[in-house]
Structures are given as structure tokens and as C-alpha cells.
Amino acid sequence: MQDTPARSAAAGRLSAFPVALLAAGGTGGHLFPAEALATVLTARGWRVELVTDTRVSGIGEAFAARAQHVVPSGTMSPRHPVRALRGALRLARGYLAARRLIGAVRPDVVVGFGGYPTLPPIVAAANMGVATVIHDQNAVMGRANRMLARHASGIATSFDDVKYLDPVHEAKVRRVGVPVRKAVLAAAQVPYEAAADDGPLRLLVFGGSQGARVMSEVVPAGLAALPADVRARLSLVQQCRAEDLDEARAIYSGAGIEAELAPFFTNLPQRMAQAHLVISRCGASTVAELGVIGRPAVLVPLPHALDQDQLYNGRAFAALGGGVVIEQSNFTPQAVTRLVSEAAGDPARLAAQAAAARRFGTPRAAEALADFVAEIAQGGRGGVSPA
């Protein structure tokens, strides 16, 4: 017997001020798409609240929600029985907390953006008769979303082909793309200006919110080995870990390369828009932002990931001509020297890649997801529809 619903959203009609409870893990990859959806829903008259985990500190402060909530969560670690038991206990506490929260907030719909912190709210909502939507940002469906797929009223995806998405759920799937923040949409208004044959070549390098060791170990040596005329053209912006800054600065200074280095850039979308070429990881948000802004990229997937989601994201981007994917085992200083030399010598190819990257992007993904969420909240279901 199903529990009494917290709100009769399936009745087919929303209230004048519908309520959406968004559930997202406290990392940028999950929070940024949720933030973009919150902005659109709020503009449409929805009341939005956020439920997340303790990692949200700093990232979620500007989130367009009337309230933020934290519920306990844990990860499932089948290879570590003690850790798995602790995670299961935290998830159980999270489930009970999520039930209390849903009873208090009375949402029309609960939307999950992946990660184990979304498990308690989505399962609790489904058991309480509240409409649910899960969104997956990657070309490989995440483990938490795989577990939640049977509970979800609707499943929003970002790619046409999503690995590990069970075909049994096809009827409730809609492709919408990855919602991006307003800063990304603003950066997308900057047209790509091809580099002149002998003019500056603007290069942006980053590897995640905390920087990536491999970028600091490989890129400086690779750029320092470029021919002198190419080095003189480089205008570099690179995100480095704090402990790598001094060594990277010394290498670039010795090579005569103009470089701006920092552990973190708050205006990364603007930096992308200014770049002729980007070297980065290929998380879902990064690939989506490169597509919306329209910038060519050398993508280096995070290795050793259980599901290789970044590899599949990067391959989808490269398949449409937006750039190249190079696995970390092949990402050497020599490879960087070769790739940047080729880019410097063929600005027309970079411009073509920029145009292809923009075709990959889905700038109206947040609106498409908001439409889908409203439909599900009114008792609708999915159906494949390109963004």
C-alpha cells in the first residue's frame, strides 16, 4: 500500500505557486545544472528549495532557492563492508530526514541531479506519491541514477546515447542536455575570433575545481618545448594547484611564456570565451559549457574512473568535431608540444572546431528541463525529444 502523498501533484493541475525540491550533491558538477534549473523555474513563478549534503559550502550560497536543506547521505562501497554498512546507515537516516522534509515542504515535484545524496529525497518522494525527475549529466548514467531510475516518474538525459540506461525505462526518458549557468550563457554571446597566423594564441588550461596535478606536471614542460616563435605568441591562463604554482611560474618565466596562474578562477566561463584553445578534463559540465560557448578543446579524461564517464563525454564532443580526446596515459609533454604546435599552425582548423563545438552545445537545456519537470509534476511522462 502506497503512503499518503505529501502533495497530490499527480492530480493533473499545479497550484498558482508550484514548489520544486531540487536534490543535488554538493559538487559543482551536480549543483551547477540544478542552479540553472532553479533560475528558470523561479522566473516562471515556481518556489524552489534545495536539498544537498555538507559539501555545499560556498558553492551553493548564490543558489536561487528560498531555502537550503542538508540531509544525511553516504556512499555504497561494496568492496569495503564496514564502509558500506556505515553508508547504508547514513542513507537510512537520510531517508527518514527526507520524508520529514518533504512532508514540511510539500513539493509538487522532486528533481534529482545525481550522486548518492539524491537517493534519500528521490526514494522518499516516490514512496510518498510525489512526482520525481532525475537528470543525468553524463554519457554514462551514474550509479545513483541507475538505482533511482525505477523510482523516477521521468528521466532527463544529456546525450542521445547513454550507457547503462536500461531500455525498460525508454518511455519516460527525454533528452534535454546539460543546463548551464547564466554566466555561461553570457559568455556564449562572445563570438570566436580566429587567431591570426602570427598573432596571439590564447590558451586556457584547467583540471577541475581544485586544479589537476597532471596539468601542472605535463603542460608547462610541453609548452616550454615549443619553438621560440610559438612560445612568443602564447597568452596562457592556467589553473594550478597551490603547491604547483611556484614551479609552473618558474618554467613559464624561463621559457618566455606570458602566463596567468591561479588555483581557482571564479570567472571560468569568461576565460573560456576569451580562449582560442582549451585543455581540460571532460566532466559533464565542462563539456556542456565548451559546447554552449563554442570553443575547441583538447580533453583529458579522468583516468581510473569506475564507469569512465569523462571518456564517453569527451568522445561525444570530439565525434562532432569539437576537438580531440587524449587519454592520460598518452598525455605527455611531447603530446602537448605537438598539439599546440598544430593548433598554432592551423588557425582555420581551430575555428572549424569552435563552430562544431557550438553545434554540440544545448544552450536551452535549462528551459527544456523546466518544461519536462512541469509536465511530470502535472502527471505527465517522458518521451524522447531532442533539446
Q: Smallest Cα–Cα separation from 159: which of 313, 358, 363?
A: 313
Q: Which three cell numbers stand for residue 173?
A: 526518458
Provide the edge-to-edge strand list for the sheet that holds 258-262: 258-262, 234-239, 201-205, 277-280, 297-299, 323-325
Residues in a beta bridge with 203? 236, 277
CATH superfamily, with its number, for domain 186-360: Glycogen Phosphorylase B; (3.40.50.2000)
Q: What angle do CA 385, 13, 103 make, to 5 degrees?
A: 100
Q: Give the whole-angstrom CA distance, residue 297 versus residue 363.
A: 18
Q: Any idea which residue has 525505462 for its cell?
A: 169
In DSSP terms, 262 is beta-bridged to: 239
From CA 34, how far away is CA 31, in angstroms rounded?
5
At 7 the pLDDT is 42
pLDDT of residue 387: 44
The two beta strands, 109-112 and 323-325, are unpaired
57, 63, 68, 73 alpha-carbon torsion, rounded to 10°:
-60
Predicted local distance difference test score (pLDDT) of residue 212: 81
DSSP-assigned letter for residue 158: S
Q: Is 184 exposed, middle or buried (0-12, 13-18, 19+ CB in 10 A)?
A: buried
Helix axes 245-255, 213-224, angle to 10 degrees: 10
For residues 291 and 317, give the distance between their C-alpha atoms in angstroms, rounded to a whole number.
Answer: 8
Q: What pLDDT was estimated at residue 80?
A: 62
- 168-180 burial code (b ≥16 CB/10 A, e <16): eeeebbbbbbbbb
Of 145, 73, 133, 143, nearest in space to 107 by CA: 133
DSSP letter (8 states) at residue 90: H
Q: Is 236 left (phi over 0), alpha (psi -120 to 50) or beta?
A: beta
18-70 pLDDT per residue, tens: 999 999 987 778 888 999 999 999 999 999 999 988 765 555 456 788 888 98
Per-residue model confidence (pLDDT) at position 306: 77
The domain defined by 9-180+363-377 folds into Rossmann fold (3.40.50)
CB 223 within 8 A of CB 234: yes
Instruction: Supply the pLDDT for residue 271.
Output: 98
DSSP single-letter state for residue 209? T
The CA-CA-CA angle for residues 348, 287, 370, to 5°, reads: 125
Per residue in 288-308, pLDDT (tens digit) is: 999 999 999 999 999 987 789
Which residues belong to CATH 3.40.50.2000 in the chain? 9-180+363-377, 186-360
Distance of CA 135 to the CA centre of its chain: 11
- Residue 244 is predicted with a pLDDT of 94
Q: Which one, of 113, 107, 89, 104, lies nearest residue 20 by Cα?
A: 107
> What CA–CA distance (Å, rounded) separates 282 from 310?
5
Q: Which three cell numbers stand for residue 47?
A: 518556489
Question: Whole-prediction pTM value?
Answer: 0.88
Q: What does the DSSP 8-state code read for residue 28?
A: H
Beta bridge partners of 165: none
Predicted local distance difference test score (pLDDT) of residue 4:
35
What is the C-alpha R_g of the chain? 22
Q: What is the pLDDT of residue 115?
A: 86
**Measuring CA to CA, how many Å separate 26 from each of 29, 54, 61, 289, 299?**
9, 7, 11, 19, 24
pLDDT (0 to 100) of residue 87:
66
Q: What is the pLDDT of residue 14?
A: 77
**What b/e readout covers 231-257, taking b as 16+ CB neighbours within 10 angstroms?**
bebbbbbbbbbeebbeebeebbeebeb
pLDDT in tens, the chain (387 residues): 234 334 434 445 677 889 999 999 877 788 889 999 999 999 999 999 999 887 655 554 567 888 889 888 766 665 666 666 776 788 889 999 999 999 999 999 999 999 888 999 999 999 999 999 999 999 999 999 999 999 999 999 999 999 999 999 999 999 999 999 999 999 999 999 999 988 999 999 998 755 689 999 999 999 999 999 999 999 999 999 999 999 999 999 999 999 999 999 999 999 999 999 999 999 999 999 999 999 999 999 999 877 899 999 999 999 999 999 999 999 999 999 999 999 999 999 999 999 999 999 999 999 999 999 999 999 855 444 434
